[in-house]
A and B are shown apart, each in its own frame.
Chain A
Amino acid sequence: QKEVEQNSGPLSVPEGAIASLNCTYSDRGSQSFFWYRQYSGKSPELIMFIYSNGDKEDGRFTAQLNKASQYVSLLIRDSQPSDSATYLCAVRYGNKLVFGAGTILRVKS
Chain B
Amino acid sequence: EAQVTQNPRYLITVTGKKLTVTCSQNMNHEYMSWYRQDPGLGLRQIYYSMNVEVTDKGDVPEGYKVSRKEKRNFPLILESPSPNQTSLYFCASSQAGAGDEQFFGPGTRLTVL
Number of B interface residues, CB 8 Å?
23
A43/B59 in contact, CB under 8 A: no
| Chain B, 23-65, CB within 8 A of any chain A CB | 33, 35, 40-45, 48, 50, 56, 58-59
A25 to chain B, nearest CB (A): 13
B113 to chain A, nearest CB (A): 23
Q: Across the interface, which residues of A come within 8 angstroms of B106, CB to CB?
A: 43
The prevalent SS among residues of A at the interface is strand
B98/A95 in contact, CB under 8 A: yes
Q: Across the interface, which residues of A come within 8 angstroms of B44, CB to CB?
A: 99
Max chain B C-beta neighbours (<10 A), residue from A96, A97, A101, A102: A97
Number of A interface residues, CB 8 Å?
25
A88/B43 in contact, CB under 8 A: yes
A residues with CB within 8 A of B: 1-2, 6, 8, 31-32, 36, 43-46, 49, 88, 90, 92-102
Could you list 16 further interchain pairs (A-B, Cβ under 8 angstroms) beyond the known A46-B102, A90-B43, A96-B59?
A2-B59, A32-B98, A36-B102, A43-B106, A44-B102, A46-B101, A49-B101, A93-B98, A94-B98, A95-B50, A95-B97, A96-B45, A97-B45, A99-B44, A101-B42, A102-B42
B residues with CB within 8 A of A: 33, 35, 40-45, 48, 50, 56, 58-59, 90, 97-99, 101-102, 104-107
Those 5 A-B pairs whose CB atoms lie nearest each other, nearest first: A101-B42, A43-B104, A99-B43, A97-B98, A32-B99
